[in-house]
Amino acid sequence: MILKDIHMRRESKSFTDAMYAILTAANRFDGPKYMLSGLSGMAFKFSVHQKLLPMSVTAYGQWGIEHKPAIDNLGIYTVFDAGRTRHSSFEIYQKDAVQWMRQSLELGVGGVYWIPEFGVIHGYDDDDRVFYVQDGWSEESRIVLYDNFGINMTPFWYCQIFGDKVNIGMQDAVLESLRLALYDWETMYKTLPDRCIASGRHAYSFLIRAFEQGDFDRSGAVYIVDSYLSSRSEIKEYMQEVKNILPGLDEVYSMYTELVSIVEEELAVSLPSIHGKRQLAEHRLLSLCTTFEKALVLEERAMGLSRIISERYPDRKRSILPRWGAHSAR
């Protein structure tokens, strides 16, 4: 069984690309990808490894914890499972995940799957015991055996499916997206005790320091700054769309417009395309440092204003003690 209407394209973070392909095909989301990226808060996530390894882009925290609030703000029911393939219980969870992934496909809804990076499961064949997976880069589907579900070159596995949707008012959704952005901005490390990967504003310091010292992964640097520009462009487009919903967002939009402009101008020179592939111009490292220092100042101002906007409205999610949750025993 193949879901014909799912077409994943790599344009944003891989999780956003996968989610957008699934939700639009299942009529759970109607709008451009930058709106999904902005409302879910995924556009605001920024993480950098101290050596600028390419895994930085998806190392923005524990995926379940990061993705659940993103989906919640879209009003969509979701189920996910994940872990490490070395765990003795993996085989049991693997068999269970294969079954509910098949059930979701039978209902006409694809699933997110860690390949790596994130892709879309859009079909299965019980006779051959395989899933069909889109990676967003190729028109051809990958094949994953049921017996190999979750097994990949990394120690992690992850899959997620989606259910029904409730409507959330646009003002509430935009306000929550700002609060998700502020959490990302102010959290220095999301993979503790490992401090090799920084998040939010601290990610800028890792990026700038690596450019200053010169000891970093070149291809990773290109991927990180390309992904950074894509996400900040999404934020700019998102803010342009919602700037009239809350007072002050027009100023946030102006700051991201300026940020995108200076970064685009710099990367056009510092990351020239050679034979169709972007490469880092070594003599531009100091200029890159200066550009990202300016970008940091602009985003700090944008986040400061977002905080002021947020504080004008009650925040019931964070001010009311839940009956069950992080603040109480389980």
Instruction: Give residue-wise pLDDT tens across range 176-190.
Output: 999 999 999 999 999
Residue 199 and residue 186 share a domain: yes
Residue 181 and residue 154 share a domain: no
Over residues 258-275, mean pLDDT: 95
pTM of the model: 0.94
Residue 301 and residue 202 share a domain: yes
Q: Is residue 260 part of a domain?
A: yes
For 246, phi and psi rounded to 5 degrees? -130, 135
Q: Is residue 322 part of a domain?
A: no
Listed residues 165, 189, 223: the one ending a domain? 165
Over residues 85-95, mean pLDDT: 95
Asked if 242 and 309 touch (Cβ cutoff 8 Å), the reply is no
Q: How far is it, in rounded angstroms, from Cα 142 to Cα 131?
A: 8
Q: Is residue 58 part of a domain?
A: no
CATH number for position 26: 3.90.70.10
Listed residues 149, 165, 181: the one ending a domain? 165
What domain range includes position 105?
A: 14-30+76-165
Residue 258 and residue 177 share a domain: yes
Over residues 34-52, mean pLDDT: 98
Residue 246 and residue 219 share a domain: yes
Count of structural domains, the chain: 2
Q: Is residue 61 part of a domain?
A: no
pLDDT, one tens digit per residue, over 219-255 is 999 999 999 999 999 999 999 999 999 999 999 999 9
What's the pLDDT band for 321 if we cut at 50, 70, 90?
low
Contact partners, residue 71, CB within 8 Å, separation at least 6: 19, 40, 78, 162
Per-residue model confidence (pLDDT) at position 316: 83
CA-based end-to-end distance of the chain: 41
Residue 250 and residue 144 share a domain: no
pLDDT, one tens digit per residue, over 102-156 is 999 999 999 999 999 999 999 999 999 999 999 999 999 999 999 999 999 999 9
Residue 191 and residue 303 share a domain: yes
Residue 273 and residue 233 share a domain: yes
Residue 235 and residue 136 share a domain: no
Residue 226 and residue 181 share a domain: yes
Percent of the chain's residues with pLDDT above 90: 93
Q: How far is it, in rounded angstroms, from Cα 91 to Cα 295?
A: 46
Per-residue model confidence (pLDDT) at position 329: 45
Asked if 22 and 36 touch (Cβ cutoff 8 Å), the reply is no
Listed residues 165, 199, 227: the one ending a domain? 165
Residue 303 and residue 206 share a domain: yes
Q: How far is it, in rounded angstroms, from Cα 96 to Cα 86?
A: 17
Per-residue model confidence (pLDDT) at position 323: 60
Per-residue model confidence (pLDDT) at position 330: 43
Q: Is residue 262 part of a domain?
A: yes
Residue 220 and residue 133 share a domain: no
